[in-house]
């Protein structure tokens, strides 16, 4: 059960104490990390993780300090919901995310490539690029959320994203403070809370403006074989045999749930739709995954498809078929991109026993 907000706010001073302790102990922590890296794959993996953790902790403290200043400037919280206060919070979040992503790219030698022409209103100079957007993305763990929100907010696009998140994410103090001040919604992690999620999505979409982007993950969770089995079983229990056949053919994705998408588009029929595929972070879902499968010297691929509002089906059955067709397209793109990456890695990495 999630602690009350007053209890969660105690983490602020604790983070400051943790940062001070980490700075004092940096020499000892660095030595331990270097020694641990000797026994881990990759180059200085533990040291890189230590540096990233210190950056993340410092950004948490800086972000909370900025939030305190913004609270005072808003009249001690009286004008937190005003447009000026909202814009200031988005600006701080953009700067924090930009710093975090730059640190990750440098520490882990990551490269981000946008594949294809990728024509979309996210590109500068496109007519009609100021329309509201509903962004539908595959779900591949917390890393993809940071990547997508950063892309939407960066200097090229300057969108103000809205997201429906699991309530447990409020255990992160920075997420807790900023996202509760901005138009986002936290819903229960209980799978039975599906209807509540759809209502939350509709509420966020209802007043989408030209600078806003509502980010939705139609799968509801990142792909695992066990979740795929459960999702197929739910479709069978509902008698959706055609959906079962189409979902079984997808190798990398869970079947999309059309309820949240339909709720968003009913509430915001004026919004364009952008569909997103990406590869490179799908295996990072837990701290254990990060420790075991830290991506280093990798290329992260991103692909956008743009659908104008006028071309999005409104009938529920047609919308479901449309969503499945796009998910099949994304699954095919992921398979092709992953296969191409594996071929490049095989060329670069010599086989065991071969001469370099």
Q: Kindly state whether residues 136 and 264 are assigned to the same domain.
A: yes
For residues 255 and 244, give the distance between their C-alpha atoms in angstroms, rounded to a whole number: 8
Let me know if residue 260 belongs to a domain: yes
| Strand residues in the chain grouped as ranges (E) | 111-114, 133-137, 160-166, 185-187, 212-216, 272-279, 299-307
Residue 208 has pLDDT above 90, yes or no: yes
The backbone torsions φ and ψ at residue 11, rounded to the nearest 5 degrees and listed phi first, read -65, -20
Tens digits of residue pLDDT in 33-79: 999 888 877 788 889 999 999 999 999 999 999 999 999 999 999 99
Q: Kindly state whether residues 131 and 161 are assigned to the same domain.
A: yes
Angle at which helices 258-267 and 316-348 cross, to 10°? 120
Q: Kindly state whether residues 104 and 138 are assigned to the same domain.
A: no
Let me know if residue 282 belongs to a domain: yes
Let me know if residue 355 belongs to a domain: no
Domain that holds residue 124: 109-346
Q: Kindly state whether residues 203 and 240 are assigned to the same domain.
A: yes
Tens digits of residue pLDDT in 86-113: 999 999 999 999 999 999 999 988 888 8
What is the reported pLDDT for 22? 94
- Which one of 108, 140, 156 terminates a domain? 108
Q: Kindly state whether residues 172 and 273 are assigned to the same domain.
A: yes
- Which one of 89, 108, 127 terminates a domain? 108
Q: Kindly state whether residues 212 and 193 are assigned to the same domain.
A: yes
Q: Kindly state whether residues 182 and 250 are assigned to the same domain.
A: yes
Residue 195 has pLDDT above 80, yes or no: no
Could you tell me if 245 and 165 are in contact, meaning their C-beta atoms sit under 8 angstroms apart?
Answer: no
For the question of whether the overall pTM of this predicted structure is more than 0.95, the answer is: no
Let me know if residue 198 belongs to a domain: yes
């Amino acid at each position: 059960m999630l602690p009350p907000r007053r209890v969660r706010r105690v983490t602020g001073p604790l983070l400051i104490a943790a940062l001070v302790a980490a700075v004092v102990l940096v020499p000892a922590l660095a030595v331990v990390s270097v020694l641990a890296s000797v026994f881990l794959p990759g180059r200085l993996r533990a040291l890189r993780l230590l540096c990233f953790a210190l950056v993340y902790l410092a950004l948490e403290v800086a972000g909370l300090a900025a939030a305190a200043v913004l609270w005072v400037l808003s009249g001690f919280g009286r004008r937190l919901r005003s447009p000026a206060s909202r814009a200031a919070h988005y600006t701080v979040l953009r700067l924090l995310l930009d710093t975090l992503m730059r640190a990750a790219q440098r520490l882990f030698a990551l490269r981000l490539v946008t594949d294809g022409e990728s024509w979309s209103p996210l590109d500068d100079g496109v007519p009609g690029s100021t329309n509201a957007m509903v962004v539908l993305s595959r779900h591949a763990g917390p890393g993809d959320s940071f990547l997508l929100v950063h892309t939407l907010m960066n200097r090229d696009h300057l969108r103000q994203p809205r997201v429906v998140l699991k309530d447990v994410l409020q255990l992160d103090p920075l997420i807790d403070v900023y996202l509760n001040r901005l138009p986002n919604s936290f819903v229960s992690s209980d799978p039975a809370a599906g209807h509540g999620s759809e209502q939350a999505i509709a509420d966020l979409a209802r007043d989408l403006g030209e600078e806003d982007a509502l980010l939705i993950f139609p799968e509801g969770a990142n792909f695992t074989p066990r979740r795929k089995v459960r999702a197929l079983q739910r479709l069978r229990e509902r008698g959706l045999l055609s959906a079962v056949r189409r979902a079984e053919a997808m190798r990398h994705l869970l079947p999309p749930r059309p309820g949240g998408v339909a709720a968003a588009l009913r509430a915001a029929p004026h919004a364009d739709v952008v569909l997103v595929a990406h590869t490179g972070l799908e295996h990072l879902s837990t701290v254990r995954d990060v420790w075991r499968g830290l991506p280093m010297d990798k290329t992260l691929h991103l692909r956008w498809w743009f659908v104008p509002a006028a071309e999005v089906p409104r009938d529920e059955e047609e919308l479901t078929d449309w969503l499945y067709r796009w998910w099949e397209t994304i699954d095919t793109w992921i398979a092709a991109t992953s296969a191409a990456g594996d071929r490049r890695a095989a060329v670069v990495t010599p086989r065991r026993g071969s001469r370099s």
